[in-house]
Structures are given as structure tokens and as C-alpha cells.
Structure 1
Amino acid sequence: MNVHSKITGTGSFIPSVVKKNEDFLNETFLNEDGSPFEQDNGVIIEKFKAITGIEERRYATPDLNSSDLGFFASEKAIKDAGIDKEELDYIIVAHNFGDVKSGSIQSDMLPSLASRIKFRLGIKNSNCVAYDILFGCPGWVQGVIQAEAFIKAGIAKKCLVIGTETLSRVVDKYDRDSMIFADGAGACIVEAEEGSTDKGILSHATVTDVMDECYYLYSGKSFKEDSDSNVHYIKMLGRKIYEYSLTNVPLAMKTALDKSGVDITDVKKIFIHQANEKMDEQIIKRFFRLYKTKVPVGVMPMSIYKLGNSSVATVPTLFDMVKRGEMENQEVNKGDVVIFASVGAGMNINAIVYRY
């Protein structure tokens, strides 16, 4: 009997603290060399909104860490799937910085976030293997790909895949890019299902480029000259990432779609990493251009305008929100072919073609 991998449950946790663009009006933004910008913050913020599409973002409350957010999303996914948590074979958690306590300058990844979440879930089964993956923003998508591999290999039947992050705690407040980042968590249950292989995960593709691209996203010191040089924050070469993504993400998506045998006209939704609205729009345009066709209306749901960029959490939270009917004029129906795609630190790109 043929076995395929199917997402049977989803869950997300959207933090309660809303940080609006106007809340940055009194911040001091600096250039990389420590010099001030010529424009005032009002102009900087308007330009930022025009490019990224971000109007507000969500931050976790001080009492919650990444593992807590992941736990909340996991509870919802397990309930949605209607499974016994003790039957889970794997818990795969994607993140970038582990648990960073509010006001701390240190990441805490001992024990792993996966172990912490398994503990919070109260799973006693020793054969439920819990581990973390560091794969940049595409981490959750890669976790789903790994779950698919375990299922295809016959060593797993049920996997919990989580993407969770509190990027608000690793940003340099003097860097205007700090306005991009946000917190959140999304999770899903991936299960083995017997029958036709023309459903669930149909195909996938993953790319890692490092020769020129390895440090497009990196840890670096604050732009404020007299700050502690030993304390590092998330930094990025925005233009480099933009150019790299526009060229390479559509190609990776095409590789995945061509493997699936699905026609481009059958793709109903693309759940792409919420990195930058303009960038995502151009990626999708270039993807459809590869097939000499126009972008269908409504094919790309977007949540970045109100949730910001929560890295590994953007794709699973977006999918969960659409699935639950929480996004206006967006829905997924049985039989729909969707694509999950992401790009991020590494530089890594991945894509999954999935029949809902």
C-alpha cells in the first residue's frame, strides 16, 4: 500500500502585544557607521511601510519565551488533529535563537526547545524523539520535509513540527531593520496515510547557497558606537537578500512544482515566508512568469502587514489562519494544491507542493 504524508492538524499562537509603526517615532535610528540618518523618523517609517508592507507587529509578553509560544501552538495542533499526544514519533522544532528571556542578552538552548515543549505537553513516551533544527526562516518548512522523510522511510507515523521565535529580543533598536521583526509560533501534525499518493505532500525542493551568500544574515554588534561589542544582534544585508531571493526562490519553487507533475494552473494558494511584501510580490510574479502566465488574483495570502516577520513562524501561522477562516477573502478547500515556500539565513530556500 502506498503511503503519503498529510497535515492533519494545525495551530498557531499570535502574541498579544501590538507594536505599531508610530511606536518607533521616538527611536534613534543610525547608519551602520553610527551616523544619524538625514531624514526624520516619520519619513523613515513611511518608506519602511511602503517597502515591507508592515503596519504593526506582535511581540511576546515578558513572561513568555519561544518554547512557551511553541507549546501553545502545539496544543492547538494536537487538538485539531484529534490524536493522542503519546502516539507522536517525533517533535521537530525550528527556531533561530532558542529561548531569550525578556531583558536578557543570552540565548538558552539547553535543554533543546523540543525537549522543553515535550515536557510542557506532558508526553511520557520515551520513543517520541524531540530535537531542534537551525535552518533560518525556512526552518518550519524544512521540518515538514524531514517529517515526510521519516514517514516515507517507515520509521514514523505521526510528527509534530513547530516553528517558534521571539525575534523582538535579538534586535538592535538603533537599526531601522529592527522594525521588521516579530514574535510568534505555528505548528502542525504530519501523519502517514495509506492510499493514493496524489494527496498530502506531493514533492519538495531545498537549496543552500553559501559561497557569496552565507553571511547575508548574521549576528553583529549594535550600530551605536559606544555599545558593548560583545553583545550581538540580528543583522542583514537587505539589498543582497532581495536580489538573491528574486532570482533563486522562483527557481526552487519551480523545481518542486515540476517534480509534483501538477500544472501551474492548478496552484490555488502560495503560503510564502512573510519577509517583505514587495519582495514576496516580485517572487510570485517571477515564479508565474517562468510558466508564461499571470499571477491569479488572491493566490498569495499576506499577514506581514499586521504580524511582521516572525521568521520560522510566518508560514505555519499564515496557513493556520487561512485554514481557520481568519483571513478575509482567503480560504483553502479540499483538493486544492498549495505551495509552502521560504527563504532565509544560510542562505536557505525550500518549497513544498501540497494537495490539501
Structure 2
Amino acid sequence: MTGRAVVTGVGHYLPERIVPNSEFEATLDTSDEWIRARSGIERRHFAAEGETTSQLAANAARAALADAGLDPDDIDAIVVATSTADLTFPSAATMVQSALGMTRGFAFDVQAVCAGFVYALSNANALIVSGQADRVLVIGAETFSRIMDWTDRSTCVLFGDGAGALVLEKQDGAGTAQDRGILSVDLNSDGRYKDLLYVDGGVSTHTTGHLRMQGNQVFRHAVEKLAKTAESALDKAGLGSADVDWIVPHQANIRIIQGTAKKMGLPMDKVVVTVQDHGNTSAASIPLALSVGKARGQIKQGDLVVTEAIGGGLAWGAVVLRW
């Protein structure tokens, strides 16, 4: 028998404030039509004043625990993927642990920007497969609205806030590609491309900073690298594109999503798309899309799901799992 990290619960949380594209027209040289045409985004959610990333994460975690029928103290570990933690330290994950009233186990953050949730899934899978944990709560949560330059129409209209969470539980499998759970992971990074997507500030530079992006260059790298990492992860699992039931990609831009699906030879009706409603929520986008995809009745038990993401670093990767 082979130990597998199986999804047993999923949930998400979005802030109450919904910001349609039209809201930007009063302060920027932009329009709803311009934003939709270039990104596919129609609206996004922004956190309220004083509403933090860890609060969004805790709400998503509660939803995932309820879906799994578990209590917080049934969890051995919490892994939070975020680039917008409440404080420099301690980790957002320990704040979630406290908010849930969880008095056992351990918690830590993973930072790989938009690829963060893929990296967090990989870490959680390793904890389970190695026997260090039996149940891990994996969360992606962001408040990117806090790092936007509201004068830069090329970036500030693209991002939103939110959180999504999965419960992963150790279950025995036969060691084949038909097992439920995480079947393979492919992770990559290349620091030479740091200047394509970054925040121009941080603790050691004594500045807060704003998000900066060379959109055309990021787009070019994204389609190529996302298709390649997804295919590599499928190959590691002994599977191919024809076996895929759903791609659940990082929700950054509809043209990147379409381009990646085309490069993989898969139709868009096999892709879970939420970018129109959430914008780019960075590390939160994949778990948000998984939760919404399940709620819509798209993702069902036994389906083969491929998640893939790319973000600042550049960092990118993919996870193949059977739901």
C-alpha cells in the first residue's frame, strides 16, 4: 500500500466588498470593456479596512473543515501560502491556528507568490507521505489590494483579495495512477526573471512597496512554462492530457488560461474558470477555483485534476491529483 494525501474537504471565503470594473473608470484612463478584453476580469473582491489575510484564511479554513466534517484539533498541521501576511512575523499560519482554537500540531507559511498554493500542496503532501502528519490544512490567502499602485492601470485592475482551503488526509492507495489523492508534483523557479514581477519594497529595504509587472513578458513565460510543468507532472504520474478531467489553473488572465489549455490540447470546457469573478488572487486563486468548481458540480470524486501556476520569482509548478 502507498500513503496518499487525499482531499477530504474544501472551502473558500471572499470579502463582502465587490468591486466592478466600472469603479476604476472614475480614477483611471480605463473602462470595463478594456479590462474585460485584456484579462477576462469583470469584478473582484477587496478586503475591508482592518480585514487581514489571516482572517480571510481562517474563514476559508472553517469552511473546509466543515466540508470535511472535522474539528480544528483533528488537524496536525497548517500550511498557508501567502505573499501578504498580516505581519513580518509571526506567520499567518500561526494566527489561523489561534483563530481556529487549534491547540496542537504546527503551522507555517510558504511564499512563492502566485505559485504559492502549488508549493504549499507539495509541502503538505511531503508531510503526509513522510509520516509527519496525517491531516494537513492547506490554505491560500491574499490581500493584494494592500500592495497596489492605484495610479498604474496595467496592474491595479487585475488583482483581488480572497482565500481558499483544502483538507488533505492520509489514506492508503494501491500506488497506481487510479489512487485518489496527490499523484505527482512538479516545481520550478528561475531567479533571473525577478524583475518581471515583484514588489518594490520590503523589510530589509525599509519600504512598503507596490506591485510592479512587465505584463507582456510575464504572459510569454506563463503560457510556455505552465503547459510544460503540467505535462511534466502528468508524465511523472504516468498520465497524459487525454486522462485529464479538469485543469484548475491559476486565475490570472483568461488569455493565459486559454493559451495554456490550447498548448496542452485540451478544450476550455475542461477548465475551471473563475477569473471573471475574483480577478487574480495570487496564492488564493487555485483553492478558490477548486472550491467553486466543486460547488458548481464540476469537480467530482474520482476526477483527475491538474493545477498549475506561475508567479514572481519566477516560480512555477503543477500538481496532479485525483479528487
TM-score, length of structure 2 as denominator length: 0.93
- Partner Cα separation in structure 2 for residue 24 and residue 297 of structure 1: 29
Distance 1:196 1:207 in 2: 28
**1:16 equivalenced with 2:16 (yes/no):** yes
The 1:55/1:297 distance shift into structure 2, 3 A limit, reads closer
1:196 Cα deviation after fit: 2.2
Q: Counterpart of 1:323?
A: 294
Residue pairs, 1:154-193, within 5 angstroms: 154-176=131-153, 177-193=155-171
After TM superposition, the structure 1 = structure 2 runs for residues 14-163 of structure 1, keeping only pairs within 5 Å, are 14-28=14-28, 40-42=29-31, 45-99=32-86, 108-125=87-104, 128-163=105-140
Amino acid of the residue matched to residue 110 of structure 1? F
Q: Secondary structure at the match of 1:301?
A: coil
Structure 2 equivalent of residue 292 of structure 1: none
Task: State the Cα distance separating 1:210 from its structure 2 match.
Answer: 1.6
Please list the CA deviations of residues 293-332 of structure 1 after superposition, one character each: whole Å capped at 9, or x if unmatched.
xx2351112111111111111110111011122xxxx612
Task: State the match for 1:34 in structure 2.
Answer: none
2:200: which partner in 1? 220
TM-superposed deviation, 1:230: 4.7
Tell me how far apart the structure 2 counterparts of residues 299 and 67 of structure 1 sit (CA, whole Å): 32
Kept after mapping to 1: 8 A contact 2:140/2:163: yes
Give identity over the alignment, percent: 32
Matched-pair contact (CA < 8 Å) for 1:4–1:196: no
Alpha-carbon distance in 2 for matches of 1:131, 1:231: 23
Larger-Rg structure: 1
Once the two structures are superposed, residues 5-46 of structure 1 have per-residue CA deviations (whole angstroms, 9 ceiling, x without a partner) of: 101111100111111111111214xxxxxxxxxxx434xx53
Unaligned runs of 5+ in 1: 29-39, 100-107, 222-228, 289-294
Assess if the C-alpha contact under 8 Å between 2:35 and 2:42 holds in 1: no
**More displaced stretch, 116-125 vs 262-271:** 262-271
Deviant stretches of 4+, over 4 Å: none
**Alignment-mate amino acid for residue 37 of structure 2:** A
Equivalenced residues, count: 315
Identify the residue that residue 348 of structure 1 maps to in structure 2.
315
Which residue identity does 2:30 align to in structure 1? N
Structure 2, gaps ≥5 residues long? none
Asked if 1:274 corresponds to 2:254, the answer is no
1:94-141 residue CA offsets vs partner (Å, 9 max, x unmatched): 110212xxxxxxxx232211111100011111xx11111111111112
Distance 1:280 1:296, change over 3 A: closer
In 2 relative to 1, CA 353–230 (structure 1 residues): closer, same or farther, beyond 3 Å? closer
C-alpha deviation, 1:49, in angstroms: 1.6
Q: Structure 1 stretch 192-201 or stretch 299-308: which is displaced more?
A: 192-201
TM-score by length of 1: 0.85
* 1:242, distance to aligned residue in structure 2 (A): 0.5
| Separation of aligned partners in 1, 2:228 and 2:268 | 21
Q: Name the amino acid aligned to 2:167.
A: I
2 CA distance for matches of 1:264 and 1:301? 15
- The 8 Å contact of residues 65 and 167 in structure 2, kept in 1 or not, is answered as yes
Q: CA deviation at 1:263?
A: 3.3
Q: Give the distance between the partners of 2:81 and 2:298, measured in 1 at CA.
A: 26
Letter in 2 for 1:341: E
Q: Does the 8 Å CA contact 2:241/2:264 hold for their aligned counterparts? A: no
Counterparts of 2:144 and 2:53 in 1: how far apart (Å)? Answer: 9
- Output the amino acid matched with 1:195: G
TM-aligned CA deviation for residue 279 of structure 1:
1.3
- Conserved 8 A contact 2:21-2:35: no
Letter in 1 for 2:173: G
Structure 1 letter corresponding to 2:253: N
Q: Is the 8 A contact 1:4 1:195 kept in 2?
A: yes
Distance 2:211 2:3 in 1: 41
Whole-Å Cα distance in 1 between the matches of residues 21 and 261 of structure 2? 26
Higher helix share: 2
